[in-house]
Structure 1
Amino acid sequence: MTTTPRPAAVITAFRPGPSLVAAVRSVLGQLDRVVVVDDGSPDAGTAAHDDLLLECSSLGATVVHHGTNRGIGAALNTGIREVRGADVDLTHVLTMDQDSELPPDFVTGLLAAERDAMASGVMVGMTSPGAVDTVRRQGTDRGRAFEPGGEPIQSGLLLPVATLEAVGEFDESLVIDGVDTDYWLRALDLGLAAVVAPGVSLSHRLGNPVVLPGGRQLPFVVASEFRYHYQWRNLLRLVRRHGRRHPGWAAGAVVRATRHLAIVTVLAPGRRGRLREAASGVRAGLRGETGSRRG
């Protein structure tokens, strides 16, 4: 194995738009290998969809297809297996969404933060950027080379191969929301820390902005209605799985989810649909359902 870092990237895609091509371009400016996993997009076979993926291939990305939509956990696992099988000297995997775009020196910044943390005796399990768009991670403004990190988001996350070997694959039964949270908590259970690169930021669309009549935009985003089913179902499941070992995380996660739902119920259009989906997710979580939703 080489001691020089050899990262590769995995980009998950579903019903991709032009942002996927921009994501691939931004990664290939910094890494030699990128795998795009098209997770059973329903528009596969259309000219627009196939032309996008063909452009990604022409840029140098490897494109892998799922025949059906299996969720982000399965897409990540497929992409990671692909890049690991193609490069025995691989040292890291950078995971990304199709709506993320790397600024210059993003990967270099994450690797530098990991290196400095390890030199300080930290067992680094993953490294994430200090800011996502204009949202800065707490405690990243002190001018240090790295900071201890809390719960990261999946896009822009740098995972050493050693972490992948220790923690294992992402939980595909969660399908979408909570996949990154579960992986982070499993890493913590093994003594692997999450760290943050303070000077590194990621361009990533976190959701749909809420715009009031008159054009005023509120300082938070709202997810698609169906996501509230998975958010609440998987929250219950992860609290059951990890709550005893991580009670602070569990309490905070419940408070944040409840607060968010309350705010968007009051201020954002579509409240009935979101409440219906959240209630459906709670019932599914209590029943212990996993995988893609039933009915």
Structure 2
Amino acid sequence: MLVAGIVTYNPDINRLAENLESISSQVDRIIVVDNGSTEWDSIAATVEHYSALSVRNATNLGIASALNQMATKALELGAKWLLTLDQDSVCSEGLVADYEKHVGETDVASMTCHITDRSFSYEEVPTEFVDFCITSGNYIDLSEWKRIGGFDEKLFIDKVDTDYCYRLRLDGKKILNVPTSGILHEVGKGTREHCFLGKKFVVFNHSAFRVYYITRNQVYVARKHRVTLGSARYYRCVRTAWTRIFVYLFYEKDKLAKLRQWIRGLRDGYAMAID
């Protein structure tokens, strides 16, 4: 049983249909978990057109919770692995078949692929194994998902994939980078590349809402995995959360709102209890 899952929250319906179209012929079932979208009728009609299963949450429970719901449903269907996708990602032909060739390889509990972003270009270094991968296009071993306790729902949205990868590796598992064309992905429509003193960096223009979770979870995940990271990497991770404020203030809109949420995120990131 081959299963793919998509988490939705007020998606672009045409893009969602494109996503479903690209994966429908590659798997036996598709699970769509919606996190309280306002235009549910349009989503439901699109999902039904592709004979996908749907789980509708009355409110936004966060991506971690939705992923756990999806994985639970996939296990109930008899799946051993699950392909997780964002609502705006489009899979290349044969992606799942390429992943399936590597199922059973020693200690591999997660697979990723080449990601092409709609918003900006970047050079990806081809390596056999990677330390981290994003949620979209991730093929996860459901027995390992269950073993390590699923995705951390305290995170709600950002760094959910980073934390999961840390815990996989802590359990002695590997993340395989499969050399396939993979998925067409979009980080955010406001994403832009900038250059300062010859150094390129990306400005995402996330909402103030996202700035809070990005900041909070950057600190929380670094604290949670401090022993694994070691002192030097821990401080680099925390420093990223602190220094990002300069990007918000000099390159993004809604500076005051983002400043407030950045401060709030730092405070809560240090205050959150580590399980």
TM-score by length of 1: 0.80
CA contact (8 A) 1:230 1:281 kept: yes
Question: Could you tell me which of 1, 17, 20 is aligned with 1:21?
Answer: 17
Corresponding residue pairs, total: 263
Question: Could you tell me which of 183, 204, 209 is aligned with 1:226?
Answer: 209
Which residue number corresponds to residue 72 of structure 1?
A: 63
Residue by residue, what CA displacement relative to the aligned partner does 1:149-175 show, whole Å, maximum 9, x if unpaired?
121111110001232232221111111
Letter in 2 for 1:123: D
Residue by residue, what CA displacement relative to the aligned partner does 1:250-285 show, whole Å, maximum 9, x if unpaired?
344334444544234322222222222111111112
Secondary structure of the residue aligned to 1:226 is helix
TM-score by length of 2: 0.86
Which residue number corresponds to residue 179 of structure 2?
A: 198
* Unaligned residue ranges in structure 1 (runs of 5+): 1-5, 141-145, 213-217, 291-295
Letter in 2 for 1:105: G
CA contact (8 A) 2:133 2:162 kept: yes
Residue by residue, what CA displacement relative to the aligned partner does 1:60-104 show, whole Å, maximum 9, x if unpaired?
1001111222111111111111121122xx221011111111121
Residue by residue, what CA displacement relative to the aligned partner does 1:212-236 show, whole Å, maximum 9, x if unpaired?
9xxxxx8542222211111111122
Distance 1:196 1:172 in 2: 26
Tell me the C-alpha RMSD between the 2 structures: 2.5
Going from structure 1 to structure 2, the CA distance change for 1:110 and 1:219 (only over 3 Å counts) comes to same
* Unaligned residue ranges in structure 2 (runs of 5+): 194-200
CA contact (8 A) 1:110 1:200 kept: no
CA contact (8 A) 2:192 2:204 kept: no
Question: Could you tell me which of 35, 38, 43 is aligned with 1:39?
Answer: 35
> Percent same amino acid among aligned pairs?
26
Which residue number corresponds to residue 162 of structure 2?
A: 181
Structure 2 residue 256 is the aligned partner of structure 1 residue 272: yes
Give how far 1:211 is off.
Answer: 6.1
Structure 2 residue 103 is the aligned partner of structure 1 residue 107: no
Distance 1:69 1:220 in 2: 26
Structure 2 residue 149 is the aligned partner of structure 1 residue 168: yes
Which residue number corresponds to residue 59 of structure 1?
A: 50
Distance 1:233 1:92 in 2: 30
Distance 1:137 1:155 in 2: 18
CA contact (8 A) 2:203 2:247 kept: no
Structure 2 residue 77 is the aligned partner of structure 1 residue 96: no
CA contact (8 A) 1:128 1:197 kept: yes
Going from structure 1 to structure 2, the CA distance change for 1:110 and 1:251 (only over 3 Å counts) comes to farther
Letter in 1 for 2:157: I
CA contact (8 A) 2:137 2:182 kept: no
Which residue number corresponds to residue 143 of structure 1?
A: none
CA contact (8 A) 1:150 1:195 kept: no
Residue by residue, what CA displacement relative to the aligned partner does 1:125-184 show, whole Å, maximum 9, x if unpaired?
2111123326557421xxxxx611121111110001232232221111111111111111
Distance 1:260 1:106 in 2: 35
CA contact (8 A) 1:16 1:49 kept: no
Give how far 1:31 is off.
Answer: 0.8
Distance 2:8 2:251 in 1: 30
